[in-house]
Chains A and B, each alone.
Chain A
């Protein structure tokens, strides 16, 4: 083998499809914007005087003029074009932001349509295609919006406008209507996290001020989520929308409407099935716990839902689910606990015996939670028999010593809780295993018999069609 060692070809490190090279190429244009359609002529805007330089009577008119000027859009992918005008628009927007924050009495009826028009012109656009086909929000760098220098100021202006003391929803609702909200919600798919953050504030303000739009907003968010779960599995703003929903749920009146319960069961719970759950799991769990704090009777459907959607092949998600479950158990009422303890602990028994030590560990941490411990203790006669077999088996077999130690503690805790039952289970352990094995064998026999039966039937009416 010596010759092999000395003359083995040098392995070219650069070779293979290293993603680095791809990345590099992408970083060059990690900015993108679909906002601008090529225009050949350079843009000219007439420089207007500053608002503070004119008399109070002239201010409203100048304000409107400035708003109209700000409807002009610039191409930010071309970094060299219209530099002067871009700077002018930026300073004008800055001025507008200050103006709506500080001045009083500027909000006349005519300003509302102009403000909404200016905002719509700037922010509503078709989002550009994602650079990579499979944009993975965890792995890939987000594509940043190129026109952000202006966009940011527009958002800021709009937020200040909505928050201003003089703002009157009754007037604005003519302009901030369902169509406006729909377009706003579509923007939540933006890859740029800065933009989504602004949108979150905007939507939250709108939800707070426009009572007439509330039901509509909730419904559209439902649609976005359902489409995300069942159709595309792609939407960038799920976490932000859930954050808004968290505070919305907090404000729900009791008793909960059927619509809200349906939202919990048919929309929020299925969100758990999505591959990219990790990106919004914290917000999702918060929403769910909010619901349960409002109405404890929902605990059973929620936990059953979680059990239904329990991840079978993704340990990472399993850990997340276990975390959420602990949060739920933290607020569970003992009466509710009794209702779901059996299926729940069958699942926990399975998690405890997971070969993935993080899953097992996360499940075993439940025994460090005093409230959960007290619940287990109250119901030990039910829970112990469910848990015992897995714990007993794993205590001897698990490859990870830390897990074995944890299991040992759990077994000890159980022994102290109900030593009589514990001893009985330990004594019956072997015979139970044998019974299980026998049952498996019986099942096999049953199937075999079934096949024979089928064969016989097939032969009996051999002229019939045998579907396979």
Chain B
């Protein structure tokens, strides 16, 4: 079972946290900090698995993570999950985000938290994997945003293209997560 899915940036700012077991809000924040502390001190090119922090259950749980450009994607899982399988799942998740946001970057996650949650909900439910087929997930996500569009358009009476990607404040596009998968650490203030 997946106990928690956490996304935070290189500074430890949480960008998404989803817990599939109940913790108090305080503990959740502590878990995020602890996990960031554990994961961020690791070099690049070491293995992607480590034992979970104490708060989330210690060595019975594993943290499986990938580092994409400015973001860490961390899945905390128990021993019933395949480590490599979860790595694939993270990749599917990021590729899906990339397709939905057209070259996804950290800003997209900040401004569209609800959409990220929705996409995740198409993949993982109650800590178990619901769907791994990327095109199926994207179809669902697009159907939802279409529905949203129609409702919003009715409300604001204006229509824009389907994509919900965000340009940078400078007007230029920021390089996406996948483009920078193995890029060196780069500070980004948020």
Please determine whether chains A and B interact with each other in the same assembly. no
